[in-house]
Structure 1
Amino acid sequence: MVGGDAAVIVALGSNLPAGFVSSEALLEAALAQFPQAGLPVLARSGWWRSAAWPDPRGNEYRNGVAIVEANGPAQTVLEALFAIERDFGRLRGEANAPRTLDLDLIAYGRRVEDRPGLALPHPRAHERLFVMGPLAEIAPTWRHPALGRTAAELAASATVGRDARPVSKSQR
């Protein structure tokens, strides 16, 4: 079942479209790279918009979530996501800085881990409406491996990015 106990969940975000016409176009192109990276997409949300964070004066963000198939270790999935980010010009540096592409491994099945370079589930995703909203759109009954709450419940109680909303077709 998509969004069930074995779900591998990836959050996507962008607020610098680089050479693309929009952040949505960049995100679509990045998502198209997932199968070649060994991460076939099983389900995906629509794109959501939210103010830049922590400084709302920056370019607005576009975010979404994909549920992918993954057969290797979580670290291998994370490395594949970092490689896709690099392909789209992502330079890691300052935390929360504007970025062309941000790919976060939110959950890898029911695994709960916390080691250098890999924390599962993602330690702050449950607080972010721009992650939980899109996840609730495609898998509302998914349960957080550590908190036991559903994506729909977490979206309703998210404290970061409360302005996040789905992008209407006319805004794309």
Structure 2
Amino acid sequence: MQDVIGATIPALQADDAAVVALGCNLPGGYASCEALLEAALARLPALGLPVLARSRWWRSAAWPDPMQPEYRNGIALVEARGEPQALLDTLLALEAELGRERGARNAARTLDLDLVAFGRRVLDRPGLTLPHPRAHERRFVMGPLAEVAPGWRHPVLDRTALDLAAAAAVGPDAHPT
């Protein structure tokens, strides 16, 4: 894992990585959302997902319901190994291990791990669409991604993370903590 949080990696290396978005607005049994997100991030290598780079934690109002507690979000670039479905299954198991209970869509949550991209793969299967169908619209995803891989290119839109972060309409208040 990179020693410096937020250090950038070359675009080609980023294009070959799996992009994992981490989010939280309820700390569950942890002291803070940041502590929970750090615990999730620390578990990734033991699950066979070496972390190549990671962003700082970003803060934003809850979306779509700004009355919920604000979010902390970040990005980890991990080695893209095996099949995307296996990686997604690992992420969902980690969510459950760290206390995530699934409820209504867009409800407050302890931990949210989304597979945003898996290299340059494009998939549309039940339960797994790559790249993530809405990530490019969200500043709280594209901002952290642009922090560590500004030259990462969206596999369908062929736009960089930096460009997508600037254009993102959802979560325009997102900023690093």
TM-score normalized by structure 1? 0.94
Extract unaligned runs of 5+ from structure 2.
1-8
Pick the aligned partner of 1:67 from 68, 77, 90.
77
| Other-structure match for 2:97 | 87
Query: How many corresponding residue pairs?
Result: 167
Counterpart code for 2:109: R
Identity of aligned residues (%): 68
Q: Is the 8 A contact 1:125 1:131 kept in 2?
A: yes
1:83-108 per-position Cα deviation (integer Å, ceiling 9, x unaligned):
11001111122100000000000000
Q: Is the 8 A contact 2:152 2:161 kept in 1?
A: yes
Counterpart code for 2:87: V
TM-score normalized by structure 2? 0.92
Pick the aligned partner of 2:106 from 96, 102, 109.
96
| Other-structure match for 1:51 | 61
| Other-structure match for 2:158 | 148
Q: Is the 8 A contact 2:53 2:148 kept in 1?
A: yes
> Does structure 1 residue 138 correspond to structure 2 residue 148?
yes
Counterpart code for 1:67: L
Give the C-alpha shift of residue 3 in structure 1.
4.7
How many angstroms apart in 2 are the aligned matches of 1:128 and 1:98? 17
How many angstroms apart in 2 are the aligned matches of 1:123 and 1:116? 13
- Shift in CA distance, 84/3, structure 1 to aligned 2, threshold 3 Å: farther
How many angstroms apart in 2 are the aligned matches of 1:58 and 1:163? 15
Q: Is the 8 A contact 1:10 1:65 kept in 2?
A: yes
Pick the aligned partner of 1:33 from 24, 43, 52.
43
